[in-house]
Amino acid sequence: MKNLEKILKGLANKRRLAIIKLLLQKKRPLSVGEIADAIRLSFTATSKHLNLLRQLDIVERNQVSLTVFYRLADSLPAAVRVLIFLISNSRE
């Protein structure tokens, strides 16, 4: 597991939390374009947030032809999954 402090910093951003919430809600891999449209963020900015989440092993990517899809990582420890669930269901 990546350093917990790094994971918490990665989760401490409202755009990345929006991405995680979306992936939790849809329960299927989403393309960068689908995520960008849903959270109303540019494709480039969305890609940067997804890349950081991937570096933290929070999401996994799969490329099909020219389209890149992301989903929550299967290898995500249960404790981090619970934390993500609690954060994503908390009121802002």
Q: Domain of 82?
A: 4-88
The answer to whether 56 and 18 have CB atoms below 8 angstroms apart is no
- Rounded to two decimals, the pTM is 0.83
Q: Per residue of the chain (92 residues), what is the pLDDT tens digit?
A: 557 788 888 888 989 989 998 998 888 999 999 999 999 999 999 999 999 999 988 999 999 999 999 999 988 777 777 877 787 676 55
* Token pair in block for residue 27: 């329960």
CATH number at residue 20: 1.10.10.10
User: DSSP 3-state assignment of 35?
Assistant: helix
- The sheet carrying 67-72 orders its strands as 30-31, 67-72, 59-64
Structurally, the chain folds into a number of domains equal to 1
